[in-house]
């Protein structure tokens, strides 16, 4: 499939480089990295690959979409394990409405995390986050497009593309 390019591979790489600079001072020896599946895998692999600090890497399945329709957030938190007394950094592909970010923030603080930082490749202008949520994003977007690439998918297809395209 051919998707019109919204953000080029160069723009994506620049955004990831900026996010790496924000991430480095936050990494401590006991930091837990939580990757939101499946979209967050792209961002986490790009952000963490060049860092010299070993991290406790965990994956969690969070769903809030069925096709192109956003619904209630469902968090399969069984794989989170114990985060009490530890700083947590969450990595995801996009902060679309803020619903997933807010749900993860509340869940992790409720499980005893000392702090929660949220990293996304994209943040939409309409995203609303709760007070106290620390959101780091690489690209700010004010469009209403549905995106594909860099972890974002078209019904499971296209996550692997190095650019962000438009459906």
Token pair 């809030």 is found at 64
Res. 51 pLDDT band, cuts 50 70 90: confident
Instruction: State whether residue 145 is helix, strand or coil.
Output: coil
Instruction: State whether residue 150 is helix, strand or coil.
Output: coil
DSSP-derived pairing of the beta strands 56-66 and 32-37: parallel
Query: pLDDT digits over 7-31, tens only?
Result: 999 999 999 999 999 999 999 889 9
d(CA 31, CA 160): 27
Q: Regarding the domain delimited by 5-166, which CATH topology (the fold level of the hierarchy) does it fall under? A: Rossmann fold (3.40.50)
The pLDDT score that the predictor gives to residue 69 is 59
């Amino acid at each position: 499939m051919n998707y019109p390019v919204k953000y080029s591979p160069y723009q994506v790489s620049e955004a990831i480089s900026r996010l790496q600079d924000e991430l480095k001072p936050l990494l401590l020896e006991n930091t837990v990295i939580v990757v939101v599946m499946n979209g967050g895998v792209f961002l986490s692999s790009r952000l963490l690959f060049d860092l010299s600090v070993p991290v406790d890497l965990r994956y969690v399945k969070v769903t809030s979409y069925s096709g192109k329709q956003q619904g209630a957030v469902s968090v399969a938190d069984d794989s989170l394990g114990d985060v009490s007394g530890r700083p947590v950094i969450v990595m995801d592909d996009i902060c679309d409405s803020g619903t997933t970010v807010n749900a993860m923030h509340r869940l992790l603080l409720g499980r005893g995390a000392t702090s929660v930082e949220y990293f996304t490749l994209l943040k939409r202008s309409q995203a609303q986050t709760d007070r106290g949520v620390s959101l780091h994003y690489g690209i700010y977007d004010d469009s209403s497009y549905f995106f594909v690439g860099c972890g974002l998918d078209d019904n499971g297809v296209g996550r692997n593309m190095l650019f962000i395209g438009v459906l």
